[in-house]
């Protein structure tokens, strides 16, 4: 019986981990996402979801709401070049109203942003054939 209880506990922990990248939202509550670096760009995959942030004076705060319908996703880019991706789903009852997003949750880095675009490492240059050379 003890082994069965441990198995159930482990399964519940794995379920929580698997769901940690899904943000559940609704139309009556605003979920606050707080990032380590200012948000420079963000987009949701479906109009049922809206993510707001201050694009004129970038800050670390983003606000998320959603409506019933198709599940979607959210992509957020921050000033340090980090990219974050979340699954979005509607839920009438919410368990959390805010989330501090750790830098370790980033799916990758597209490089720091400059006024004219995203910087690439100086060591990489494209040849005429489009291949990266050192």
Looking at residue 71, which CATH number applies to its domain?
Answer: 2.60.40
Q: Which of 59-63, 79-83, 108-112, 113-117 is least confident?
A: 113-117
- Does any domain span residue 14? no
Please report the pLDDT score of residue 111 as a whole number.
Answer: 75
How large is the average pLDDT for residues 1-8?
46
- For 97, residues 6+ apart whose C-beta sits below 8 A from its C-beta are 29, 30, 31, 32
pLDDT greater than 50 at residue 4: no
How large is the average pLDDT for residues 59-69?
96
pLDDT greater than 50 at residue 12: no
- Domain count along the chain: 1
- Does any domain span residue 48? yes
- Does any domain span residue 119? no
């Amino acid at each position: 019986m003890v082994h069965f209880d441990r198995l159930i506990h482990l399964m519940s922990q794995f379920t929580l981990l698997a769901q940690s990248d899904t943000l559940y939202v609704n139309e009556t509550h605003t979920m606050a996402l707080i990032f380590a670096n200012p948000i420079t760009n963000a987009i949701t995959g479906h109009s049922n979801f809206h993510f707001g942030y201050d694009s004129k004076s970038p800050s670390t705060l983003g606000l998320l709401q959603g409506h019933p319908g198709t599940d979607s996703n959210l992509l957020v880019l921050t000033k340090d070049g980090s990219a974050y991706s979340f699954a979005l789903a509607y839920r009438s009852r919410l368990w959390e109203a805010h989330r501090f997003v750790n830098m370790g949750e980033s799916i990758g880095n597209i490089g720091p942003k400059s006024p004219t675009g995203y910087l690439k490492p100086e060591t990489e240059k494209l040849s005429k054939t489009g291949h990266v050379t050192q």
